[in-house]
Chains A and B, each alone.
Chain A
Amino acid sequence: MEITTHDFWTVLHGMGFGALFMLAFSGALAELFRISAPGVPAGVTDREQKLVVFYLIVMVLLAWLTVFSGAYVIYPWYRAVPPAGVVDLADYPRRLLLSSGHTSEWHNVGMEWKEHVAWIAPIAITMVAYVTMKYGRAIIRYRDLRKAVLGFAVAAFFATGVAGAFGAFLNKYAPVRGGAPIVIMQGEKE
């Protein structure tokens, strides 16, 4: 069982950071609504409040790790320029997509959108975490702050969804391959 360094980083970026961040939204959105909705019984304890803040801080870390690993580790491999004369573009995903009218829009729309819109998520979720931490349960008294926090959290979810979905499609049509092999487990030949 082997994996290449490029595959490893792609999996870490997409599944380790990105997918975990995206999964965390279901809990975050539900909890943000629950603790801030007017009329909820005062059943939020100090411990629960701390847990929400901790949860959001982990989301902030995951969001920044996702965009930085994507832009500064994987993206350079994606946009690598093949040397003159190279015909097999399998190791040059951007060029591979642009080489055919059937796939070029996966780059021109998919990648171009993904690479930019993804950065809205960490900016938005950092603000959400800060305001939640700053005001705690008192946010119930600030209706417009509450609405803004939820609105930006939804925008972050949307941006993450776009980036994640196109990431999955791009990896289907032009995966980032190559790099040194990492042997995970030695098998036996049948």
Chain B
Amino acid sequence: MSAIDTGQGNLPNGPGAAAILAAGIGCAALGILAFAGDAVQAIGKGLNFYNPVGTLSGVTTLAIIVWLASWLVLARTWGSRSLAINRVTGIAFALLVVGLLLTFPPFMDLLQGK
């Protein structure tokens, strides 16, 4: 059992930044799709991928696809680079807040003027 140092050589922050921003994008996609499905009846019907689960099936399936696809693209783009990480994490947190707000029904209702 040897104590490890901070190790990992000079690992670029790109892979971490890609994962963090993709998580933010996934959360925002979840909120935007949930809001769209609630606000527009046609979108809600279109998101009904699996009838027993209803609109939730499309909202979550698409959010997961957006999250994983954005992670793949960002990881390929930033995999070996080091970035201005504070800007990336700032955007990721903003997207996370979008996701949290748009999944909150009273906020959805407020935006729809209900």
Contact = CB atoms under 8 A, between A and B. Distances in A.
Interface string B76-100: 0000000001101100110010011
Contacts, number: 131
Q: Could you tell me the dominant secondary structure of chain B's interface residues? A: helix
Interface in B1-34: 1-8, 11, 13, 15-17, 19-20, 22-23, 26-27, 30-31, 34
A28 to B, nearest CB: 16
Given A135-B16, A145-B85, A120 B6 contact: no
Interface stretch (A71-79, A82-90, A178-186): A71-79
A94 B57 CA distance: 17
A75 B100 contact: no
A31 interface: no
B40 to A, nearest CB: 16
Contacts of B53: 71-72, 75-76
Interface in A84-139: 108-109, 112-113, 115-117, 119-120, 123-124, 126-127, 130-131, 134-138
Given A113-B104, A113-B105, A135-B11, A127 B6 contact: no
A186 to B, nearest CB: 34
A130 B21 CA distance: 13
Nearest to A159: B100
A55 to B, nearest CB: 17
B7 A152 contact: no
Contacts of A113: 103-105
Interface in B25-76: 26-27, 30-31, 34, 38, 50, 52-54, 56-57, 59-60, 63-64, 67
A112 B109 CA distance: 12
Contact of B8 (A42, A108, A135, A158): A135
Contacts of A44: 3-4
Interface of A: 42-47, 49, 67, 71-72, 75-76, 79, 108-109, 112-113, 115-117, 119-120, 123-124, 126-127, 130-131, 134-138, 140-142, 144-145, 147-149, 151-152, 155, 158-159
22 contacts: A44-B4, A46-B4, A72-B52, A75-B56, A108-B105, A117-B100, A119-B30, A120-B27, A123-B23, A123-B63, A131-B16, A134-B11, A134-B16, A142-B13, A142-B16, A144-B88, A145-B85, A145-B89, A147-B89, A148-B20, A152-B20, A152-B96
Interface of B: 1-8, 11, 13, 15-17, 19-20, 22-23, 26-27, 30-31, 34, 38, 50, 52-54, 56-57, 59-60, 63-64, 67, 85-86, 88-89, 92-93, 96, 99-100, 103-106
